Amino acid sequence: MLVSEPSKSKKASVTGAQALDKKDHGILALLQTDASQPVADIAEQVSLSPTACWKRIQRLHELGLIRKQVCLLDSRQVGVGVTVFVSIKTNHHDLQWFNTFASGVKDMPEVMEFYRMSGDTDYLLKVVVPDIEGFDRVYKKLIKVAELFDVSSSFAMEEIKYTTALPLEHL
């Protein structure tokens, strides 16, 4: 069962393990594994009634711990089986340049993840494309967005571990 995302205005803030117990941790772990599970199944696994479990899931949404629930697609099956990590260096560190660059990169559907980094690399992108020619098209779009000093690309040869589940042991 998919639970709808609450409106942004209703979200409270939560820090760390604030107001969370073992049942909440169990619910979060189960939802990270398979959010399509019926609430009744989740409730049974954490020893709650379905209604109590549903209320907890709603509360976890309201607290902002659950941002949204989605389906994860198989990249190869949808034709974007090549993953490229792109390291970017720039000589520009002003807000106007950043806003232009960030806006342009966010508009590229092939860019799955986008980070501002510390160290030698200023920005790191995770890009998915069908093939090398597809990446070349993304690269050409990327260098049109803003002036860049250096762009270095690494093609993933093999996916050894992939997960969307965050570790919860520290809660």
pLDDT at 15 exceeding the cut of 90: no
Is 168 domain-assigned?
no
Position 34 scores a pLDDT of 96
- pLDDT tens per residue, range 25-78: 999 999 999 999 999 999 999 999 999 999 999 999 999 999 999 999 999 999
46: domain CATH number is 1.10.10.10
- For residues 48 and 89, state if they share a domain: no
| Strand blocks (E) in 99-171 | 111-116, 123-129, 150-155
Is 119 domain-assigned?
yes
Position 6 scores a pLDDT of 44
- For residues 88 and 140, state if they share a domain: yes
Is 163 domain-assigned?
no
Is 150 domain-assigned?
yes
Position 18 scores a pLDDT of 63
Global pTM value: 0.83
- For residues 41 and 90, state if they share a domain: no
129: domain CATH number is 3.30.70.920
For residue 34, what are the domain limits? 8-62
Q: Closest Cα partner for 66 from 23, 2, 143?
A: 2
pLDDT at 5 exceeding the cut of 50: no
Report the domain count for the chain.
2
Return the H-helix or E-strand segment holding 20.
none
Residues composing the chain: 171
Angle at 90 between CA 84 and CA 94, to 5 degrees: 125
- For residues 90 and 151, state if they share a domain: yes
Is 72 domain-assigned?
no
- pLDDT tens per residue, range 98-109: 999 999 999 999
Higher pLDDT, 8 or 67: 67
- pLDDT tens per residue, range 85-137: 999 999 999 999 999 999 999 999 999 999 999 999 999 999 999 999 999 99
Position 127 scores a pLDDT of 98
Is 161 domain-assigned?
no
Percent of the chain predicted with pLDDT > 70: 89
pLDDT at 9 exceeding the cut of 80: no
- For residues 86 and 58, state if they share a domain: no
Position 7 scores a pLDDT of 44
